[in-house]
Structure 1
Amino acid sequence: MGSFSIWHWLVVLLIVVLVFGTKKLKNLGSDLGAAVKGFKEGMAHGTGSGDAPAGGTTPQVTADKAAADKTTIDVDAKTKS
C-alpha cells in the first residue's frame, strides 16, 4: 500500500473520463486556466503599477459582475425574535 504505479493512475484517469466526459473536462481545464490568468493579472495590478483604470475595476470584472447579477439572487436573512 505504498505508492501508486502508473497503471493505477491510468485506471483512475479512465474512470474520470468515463464519468465526466472529455467535453466537461476540457471546459473545466479552460475555466481553471482563465481563473489562474485572471489571478495573475490581478496580482500584477495590485503591486502599484499605476496603470489601473480610473473606475477602479477592469471591463472584464464589470462584465463578470453583470453576468453574475443575472443569475444571482440576493436575499437578506432575518433572525427570529
Structure 2
Amino acid sequence: MGSMSIWHWVVVLAVVLLLFGRGKISDLMGDVAKGIKSFKKGMADDDTATAPSSAPETPRNIPHQVSSTTEAEKKPV
C-alpha cells in the first residue's frame, strides 16, 4: 500500500510524456541544467571575490544606553 511498484512509475512516466511531449521535457531539463551551471558559476565568483579581501575587520564600538540617573543620584554601595 505504501510502496509504488515499477508499473506505477511506468504509468506515471507515460502520462507525463503524453501531456508534455518529449520536446518540452528535454527543453525543461536543458533550462534546469543552465540554471544549475549559472548558480555554480555565481558561487565560484563570490568565493574568488571575497578571498583576496579577507583582511580582518576592525572592531566597532557599540553605543550604550545612558540612564536618566546621574552619578550623584546613585546610592553608594
TM exceeds 0.5?
yes
- Segments of structure 1 that go 5 or more residues without pairing to the other structure are 51-81
Report which of the two structures shows the higher radius of gyration computed on alpha carbons. 2
Structure 1 segments of 4 or more deviating over 2 A? none
RMSD: 0.8
State, as a whole percentage, how many aligned pairs show the same letter: 49
- 1:33 matched to which residue of 2? 33
Distance 1:34 1:28 in 2: 10
SS of alignment partner, residue 4 of structure 2: coil
Distance 1:25 1:43 in 2: 27
Higher relative contact order (CA 8 A, sep 6+): 2
- 2:8 matched to which residue of 1? 8
- Segments of structure 2 that go 5 or more residues without pairing to the other structure are 50-77
Matches within 5 A, 1:18-29: 18-29=18-29
Give me the TM-score of the superposition, normalised by structure 2.
Answer: 0.61
- 1:43 matched to which residue of 2? 43
Give me the TM-score of the superposition, normalised by structure 1.
Answer: 0.58
Distance 1:14 1:42 in 2: 36
